[in-house]
Structure 1
Amino acid sequence: MFEFFPGFDPATFEWNWTWWTTVAWSGRVLGIAFIPTVLLQRGTRPMAALAWILTLLAMPFIGAALWWIIGRNHMRRRKRRRSRAQARISRSFHDLARGSDDEAKIAADSPLSPLSAVSPARNLVLHDEHGIFPPTRDNLARPLPTSAVAFDAFEDAIRAAKDHIHFEFFIWREDHTGERFRDLLAERARAGVEVRILYDAIGSSSIRRQFIKPLLDAGASAAPFLPVRLLERRLRVNFRNHRKLLIIDGEVGFTGGVNIADDYLDWFDMAVELRGPVVYQLQEVFAEDWHFATGEDLAEERYFSGLSSHAPSGIATEAEDDPEGQTTSESAPEPEPRAIPTVARVVASGPDDTLDTIHKMFFLAITSATERLYLITPYFVPDSAIMAALQTASMRGVDVRIIVPQQSDVPITQHAGRSYWEGLLEVGVRIFEYRDRVLHAKLIVHDRDHVFMGSANMDIRSFRLNFEANCVLDSHPLNRQMCRLFLETQSRSTEIELDAHRTRPYRTRLLEGFARLLSPLL
């Protein structure tokens, strides 16, 4: 039984000091000692702070261990020293970005322009120190709607590499797919291409040195991101690099939700291939992560050769659609989506950024929607701000639809997410469970012109604890194409009805409530 003063008998007002009293008071002092750090780091989230304080007081030894392992929200990491070469690149890039803004303003004056509704992402004016890069024109985006299509595109790009390959993934497994890419990367390294591989130490914990050895022998460089060291003063096991980036020669880049493992061939996932100046931004994100993991600074012009003031050539593109058109039927997506011209920017965030940039981007997208907001996410655990934004968007008349998995690879997160459904269904948000297979894709289709793709999920971990990278794509034809994909996915899903949800079994609601209770501790 929990005692506020262990060893004290209130009936006799005497102390009964035993070995257990010593242990109990030691734990109490330990728990209390951690409370100031909880208040400093979770002061902006009172419910999370209260949950941690109660845990520290009720179970001090367990609570202190959990706080040391997973309690912190933010971390510091050293930044790259910008060399003269990088300074020149930055100046050129910002000149290009200013040109993009000027062009966007001119385009917005046209009544038929797809940019007539100003992108909510364009209003993100913070500089790239917070991971918010400026919008760039003259880009091409090619959606890769399945993992199989994405893997083939990755392979084609790697085979075509002439100078360097930068390969960064959260999960890389020792299976057939993992070996397939290992051998291909080793082959390119032997051909004289610089190959750098960055993988998360926890997400790719199955990777052994024996698996990496063929790459190292071929001349490639490989490093784990934030390996766990138990003797660290502050354990950083809770901060993971969830990004999925592949950059080839500074000219073509990939991002999305696809990891390098056999599982993803059976799951529903997607990625996007990018060409043009936005690849510079992906390269910049990789360079920061690589410097943190290895200390090597990639501030050389050769790694940013994709930065140019003209559109990429030699790639088949899709013609501009009627800007006044709108997808309303549940038509199937095109079997092989083509590259589409787009204004694009990268938004990256992580626990080293106290602004929680990805969270702010999602919040701005939801609150600025005027017509439709279609979301696909494998993990849906919104905080109070995102929850309120979704509710008010639907109450304003925005068509808000969310697709989540019926079968999830993380059941506790699925149960926590379902506990939020009633508050959304009550105000008209439509929720669907994808039933074909495990869903791992991440997508936001915003009004008629904007698409958000990348690694971030709609959950607290992506908002505050993981290193994430998303692309904001401003293109009416691309929006239409991804809307078709969303509606095709919806047709393979089961819609959740409010009345049926309210009558679910008591034990199910109890499990969901318990799972939701754990979310502030993340």
Structure 2
Amino acid sequence: MSKRSSILSIVILLSLCVLFISGCTLKIPELFPKEVPISNLPAKAIFIDKDAIYNQTVAMIESAQTSIYVEQAVFDDPNLIQLLISKSRSGVDVRVLLDQWQKANRITLDQLKSQNVSVQFYPAQKGQINHTKYLIIDQKRALIYGPPWTEEGFKAHDIAVELSGKSAWKAASLFSKDWAFTTTFPLDVEKTSTLPEDNIILATNANVRQQLIDRISTSTKSIWIANSEITEPDLIQALIEAAEKGCDVRLILDQSATTKTPVTLEKLSTNGVHIRFYPSQPPLGLNLAIFDNSSFLLSSSGWTRYSFVANHEFSITVPSPKASSRLVEMYTQDWEKSTE
């Protein structure tokens, strides 16, 4: 054995001894990080604001051949109600799940039931809100929403994301679980799918929070967030730690946050997080995070502990540089029009 090899062996042995004595563990994944799969979701799958979102919603419903699954927090748009009734009459299997605590949904439920459309209230416990918002067509395409299907919802500054790969089938499977939870009768959704893998992660409830924690902690350059409300303590701490290690952490918040959560805002701003407030018109509807300009997460509501623990929430995590680039462009414009 050469002298150089002997020295290297001694160094490795001593390092292992130090780890053993100190009680530390050697984490192989940290030495050899796992490559994150990339999604092929294109920029054109992002729909921004009222006209684009609404027109795509109508187009997708009209294109349905076999099934339409809708889950919405609030739904009272008269045109979309009539469109679902028309598709149901044509023989398409239309299923609708609504949050039971919203007054507007009671009127919508009565309208749809009177026309023999299968509609149910999601069986939430008192105090639990179903914030899930998506449309699934033929178990092959899905539109994931920031806004609810209401006049006020569509007026807000928000986005929708169209899925056409395996994640659309996964969304149909999640809807089937919610439907079975409501009616005890699962839908006929295939156990496997031939749709192409798109590497998009769907999460519900507490798993939404975990997705956020994971993405924040692994970001190395930037974390840009637009959100109605952020108060969840672990997320606040994760953002502060990201800023401390050099990430460009930005928050665009609703104007109401200045009076609702002043202590949280002070804690974030004094620890290196840059905060601006979106103009009141149009209202901010986004619940979005962009990580390292290459991936993003869209969730169904604000990031509070109550949302993750009590409510029925939903998110998609999309590691697509192409789709993210469109959102980066939007966020840059929003940042410029927002104020400190």
> Which residue matches 1:426?
270
* 1:39 aligned partner: none
1:389-420 residue CA offsets vs partner (Å, 9 max, x unmatched): 111110100000000012x4xxxx66332321
Instruction: Tell me the number of residue pairs that the alignment of Structure 1 and Structure 2 aligns.
Output: 307
Q: Which of these residues, 142, 160, 181, is aligned with residue 292 of structure 1?
A: 181
Distance 2:307 2:92 in 1: 33
**Corresponding position of 2:222:** 372
Q: 1:401 aligns with which of 242, 245, 250?
A: 250
**Aligned partner of 2:231: which letter?**
V
Counterparts of 1:328-343 in structure 2, within 5 Å, are 343=199
2:49 match: 146
Distance change (3 Å), C-alpha of 1:300 and 1:367:
closer
Match of 2:73 in 1: 170
Find the counterpart in structure 2 of residue 274 from structure 1: 163
Does the aligned pair in 1 maintain the 2:231–2:303 contact within 8 Å? yes
Specify the alignment match of 2:90 in structure 1: 191
In structure 1, the partner of 2:259 is: 415
Give 1:360's aligned residue: 210
Residue 308 (structure 1) aligns with: 194
SS in 1 for 2:317: strand
1:389 aligned partner:
238
Q: Contact between 1:165 and 1:249, CA under 8 Å: does it hold in 2?
A: yes
Give the match for residue 81 of structure 2: 182
Instruction: Tell me whether 1:220 sits opposite 2:117 in the alignment.
Output: yes
Unaligned regions of 5+ residues in structure 1, if any?
Answer: 1-108, 110-115, 123-134, 228-235, 312-341, 350-355, 496-522
* Compared CA separation, residues 257 and 164, structure 1 to 2 (3 A): same
Structure 1: which 4+ aligned runs deviate by more than 6 Å? Answer: none
Matched to 2:235, the amino acid is: I
- Deviation (angstroms), 1:365: 1.4
- Paired with 1:162 and 1:374, the residues of 2 have a C-alpha distance of 39
Q: Is the 8 A contact 1:138 1:309 kept in 2?
A: no
Q: Return the index of the structure with the highest Cα Rg.
A: 1
| Distance in 1 of aligned mates of 2:70 and 2:175 | 9
Offset at residue 309 of structure 1 (A) = 4.7
Which protein, 1 or 2, shows the higher relative CO under an 8 Å CA cutoff with sep ≥ 6? Answer: 2
TM-score of the two chains, using structure 2 as the length reference: 0.83
Aligned counterpart, 2:104: 206
* Whole-angstrom distance in 2 between the partners of 1:490 and 1:239: 33
Give, in whole Å, the separation in 2 of the partners of 1:281 and 1:445: 23
Q: Please give the per-residue CA displacement for 1:208-227, whole angstroms capped at 9, x wherever unaligned.
A: 45x44453344320001126
User: CA offsets, 1:12-56, max 9 Å, x none?
Assistant: xxxxxxxxxxxxxxxxxxxxxxxxxxxxxxxxxxxxxxxxxxxxx
Conservation of the 8 A alpha-carbon contact between 1:147 and 1:271: no
TM-score (norm 1): 0.55
Preserved contact between residue 140 and residue 275 of structure 1 (Cα < 8 Å): no
Alpha-carbon distance change, 117 to 220 in structure 1, aligned in 2, over 3 angstroms: same
The alignment yields a C-alpha RMSD, in angstroms, of 2.3
Query: How far off its partner does 1:185 sit?
Result: 0.2
CA distance in 2, matches of 1:393, 1:208: 44
Residue equivalent to 2:20: none
Equivalent of 1:158 in 39, 61, 81: 61
Say if 2:243 and 2:272, in contact at 8 Å, map to a contact too.
yes
Contact 1:168–1:243 (CA under 8 A) maintained in structure 2:
yes
SS in 1 for 2:312: strand
Percent of aligned pairs sharing the same letter: 22
Is the contact between residue 109 and residue 120 of structure 2 (CA under 8 Å) also seen in structure 1?
no
Distance 2:179 2:195 in 1: 27
Q: What aligned pairs does 1:80-91 form with structure 2 within 5 A after superposition? A: none
Distance across 2 between alignment mates of 1:196 and 1:418: 42
The structural deviation recorded for 1:462 is 2.1
Instruction: List runs of 5+ in structure 2 lacking aligned partners.
Output: 1-31
Deviations 1:335-361 (A, max 9, x none): xxxxxxx53121112xxxxxx222221
AA matched with 1:197: V
Name the CA distance, whole Å, in 2 between partners of 1:245 and 1:434.
25
Shift of 1:487: 0.8
1:345 to 185, 201, 207: 201
**Structure 1 residues 207 and 348, CA, compared in 2 at 3 Å: closer, same or farther?**
closer
Q: Write out aligned runs for 1:29-108 (5 A).
A: none
